[in-house]
Amino acid sequence: MPGVETDSISRERSRTGRWLHEHALLLVCLAIFLLCLVGMAVSGYQVYTDDRLEHGGTAIAFGDYFRSGHFIEATFENWESEFLQMGAYVVLTIFLFQKGSSESKPMGERTPQDEDPRHAAVGPGTPWPVRRGGIWLVLYENSLAIFFFVLFALSFWFHAVGGAEVYSAEQAQHGLPTVGVIEYLGTSQFWFESMQNWQSEFLAVAAIVGASVYLRQRGSPESKPVATPHHETGA
């Protein structure tokens, strides 16, 4: 019946709209990421092609560019620093504090994040590793840091893989010997590429930790309430 079909469509749209609302932050960030990645690929391909032509080479297909050291190195060099930053921040905020910062746990008191899950009441919605216990719980209660450090390690390696190809190509142009991935890890070029990104990530973390003591952004969970005194720490 038309009325039943209309109600079904309305309910489906309502569920879809609710799902989009509940996941909007993740979806928007992923959309911006994809747009920027596409922009990086397009512009990087043009830079790479121009460089090849200037040195007497030939252009490659756009699809082949994604397998080139130029694209791999540029992509994972940046991902590496981001995942290092997030992993280190997750771990450092367990033990370290900043008085007055919204990014710090309150000082001198226990928070829900400090509670031992082994003593928690178990219900239907309790995560499976908590109900199971043992090694599964040990892994799960550290899974956020593990997640970021695994991604950091993978990005670190692919940065080295792509960077070794780019570095070797430049060496060959100057009549110098090429290097393997392990050899490239020992070059100053690799560590220059890494450190120039790492320093900026930790500067950004320090900036929000320090700025959130005195500055506010109404409506953002990264800020304390606007009227909160500067000395009050955490949420």
This prediction has a pTM of: 0.90
pLDDT at 4 over 80: no
Longest dimension (CA), the chain: 78
What pLDDT is attached to residue 109?
86
CB count within 10 Å of CB 225 equals 10
Residue 8 C-alpha from the chain's centroid = 39
- pLDDT, tens digit (0-9, with 9 covering 90-100), for 184-206: 999 999 999 999 999 999 999 99
- pLDDT, tens digit (0-9, with 9 covering 90-100), for 84-98: 999 999 999 999 999
Alpha-carbon torsion (37, 160, 147, 133), positive or negative: positive
In whole angstroms, give the CA distance from residue 15 to residue 44: 40
- Mean pLDDT computed over 11-30: 90
* Domain locations in the chain as residue ranges: 1-65, 68-235
Phi–psi pair at 183, nearest 5 degrees: -65, -40
Question: Coil, strand or helix: which one is 227?
Answer: coil
What pLDDT is attached to residue 12?
73
